[in-house]
Chain A
Amino acid sequence: MNWIVNFLTSSIGRKLIMSLTGLFLILFLVVHLAGNLQLLTNDGGEAFNTYAYFMTHNPLIKFISYGNYFFIILHAVIGILLYFKNRKAKGSSYAVSGSSDETSWSSKNMALLGTLILAFIFIHMGDFWFKMKFGNMPDVMSASLGVPVKDLFTRVSTAFDNPVLVIIYLIGQVVLAFHLWHGFASAFQTLGLNHPKYTPIIQGVGKIIAILIPLGFALIPTLHYLDIYLF
């Protein structure tokens, strides 16, 4: 069993954890976005509230969501640990910093970006998840399920009447975009996947994802603020 500990505490082992948890979190973001785009349906919340009920009551989804919490915490804890270890390894810095045009700003600021994402996650969970779980959020009847469900839709809709919150959410998405701009392709390099044949494709897909996912999320507060529905 010693070998597992040795592996997971080696430099490459730690990075492997970052890579796998990071890719899992991206997968989560895609599912989360697909579900949340139902917030843009003009049906008084029927589709979204029913979906939210399903997501909070299905045992399999519940199990995956605990895994998700665990992976976010693991990714954040190891990410911050790596940051401090790397600072220690660098020791002192240069009096003049030279320009290597080939390196991206994102790649050198992953820990800062990640910490901001973590702060955003706390704000976000406090706004919706906490209020749904522990606040007294009113119920509405779900037409398709025939049972009362939490009216998360109205909570989201009213929350995004506040321009300050909308701006915080938009900043959060910009931060996420920068994290993914480097993160997606980096995760494959960490896994040892790099070849002139497919690496340019991974890098391209990474940049598209880094724009599309945050853009999709950004639509929700923006359109709710403007009272525009898409479907």
Chain B
Amino acid sequence: MQLTLKVWRQKDSKAKGQLETYKVEADEHMSFLEMLDVLNEDLISQKKEPISFAHDCREGICGTCSLVINGRPHGPQQGTTVCQLHMRSYKDGDTIVVEPWRSAVFPVVKDLVTDRSAFDRIIQAGGFISVNTGQAQDANAIPVDKEDALEAFDAATCIGCGACVAACPNGSAMLFTAAKVSHLALLPQGQVEHKKRTKAMVAQMDKEGFGMCSNIGACEAECPKEISLENIARMNRSYIGAVFTTD
């Protein structure tokens, strides 16, 4: 199939950047990233600068790939990362606009690559359990309610890709932070540091300059792991509770 791509090209974080148009011959079995690989090989053979885009696992688990396709983070398919999007979702003659994540906190490094280290700093602020875990425990030594285990697991599927921030008109990182607070909060091991953790992670999130949540729901709609807004409510009540019950 013949496609017209309009791709955001930007030399570095300081450059202005603009959309540039390319023609590419793709196969419906290719993934979206493989299609970009084909285009890049083409550009290299013409001695042109290839398009920079972030990717790693290409199997939907690492959270590195990050493209906004026709205005939608990770493209049109619900619950998939862009590396898992295939060209069969498009038809011959389509024009596809590819842009980087847009957020003042995720500056463009080059072309479609953004700096998402703000997320790392939110995790560093408290998104972990700071006790020595020692030997692996006997499976049922710590009882966990099945419902809680499932909910914690759902929250833990967040791959930290940042599509929630990219989708949010306010550039808010509440869905990511809430997922990271929740997957620990729901388990007994996470309870001990829960209040301290919530306060520290929210404080870091604010410090990074992310926007505030208007409960629009664009994040939940675009999240490749379909993280629920219930996590944001959990973080809100945890945070409000923590502020009034800790010093």
What is the number of residues of chain A that contact chain B, defined by CB distance less than 8 Å? 43
In the bound complex, do residue A190 and residue B215 qualify as a contact, i.e. CB atoms below 8 Å apart?
yes
Question: Which 5 A-B pairs rank lowest in CB-CB distance, beginning with the nearest?
Answer: A192-B237, A98-B71, A91-B104, A194-B233, A89-B211
- The answer to whether A186 touches B214, judged by C-beta atoms less than 8 angstroms apart, is yes
- Which residue in A3, A11, A192 is a CB contact (below 8 Å) of B206? A11
CA distance A91 to B209 in the complex (A): 11
A86 touches B212 (CB 8 A): yes
CA distance A97 to B166 in the complex (A): 12
Could you list 6 further interchain pairs (A-B, Cβ under 8 angstroms) beyond the known A11-B172, A100-B72?
Answer: A12-B202, A15-B212, A88-B104, A90-B169, A94-B99, A98-B69
Tell whether B60 is near chain A: CB-to-CB under 8 Å.
no
> Is B192 at the interface (CB under 8 A from chain A)?
no
User: What chain A residues lie within 8 Å of B232 (beta carbons)?
Assistant: 189, 194
Q: Restricting to B181-215, which residues have a CB under 8 Å from any CB of A? A: 202-203, 205-206, 209-215
CB pair A91 B212 closer than 8 Å: no
B202: A residues at CB distance < 8 A: 10-12
Q: Which residues of the partner chain B approach A1 to less than 8 Å between Cβ atoms?
A: none
> Which B residues are within 8 Å of any A CB, using their own CB?
6, 8, 19, 68-72, 76, 97, 99, 102-105, 167-172, 174, 202-203, 205-206, 209-218, 220-222, 229-230, 232-240, 243, 247
List 17 A–B pairs whose Cβ atoms lie within 8 Å, in order of A's numbering.
Answer: A11-B202, A12-B235, A12-B239, A15-B213, A86-B169, A89-B104, A90-B103, A92-B102, A94-B71, A100-B72, A102-B217, A103-B217, A186-B215, A189-B236, A191-B240, A192-B233, A192-B238
Chain A residues with CB under 8 Å of chain B are: 3, 7, 10-16, 82, 85-86, 88-104, 107-108, 110, 182, 185-186, 189-196
CB <8 Å contact, B212 and A193:
no
How far does the alpha carbon of A7 sit from the alpha carbon of B240 in the complex, in Å? Answer: 8
User: What is the distance, in angstroms, from B82's C-beta to the closest C-beta of chain A?
Assistant: 13
A80 to B193, CA, bound (A): 35
Contacting pair B236 A10 (CB below 8 A): no
Q: Which residue of A lies closest to B167 (CB)?
A: A100
Q: How far is the CA of A97 from the CA of B99 in the complex (A)?
A: 11
Q: Is the CB of B102 within 8 A of A94?
A: yes
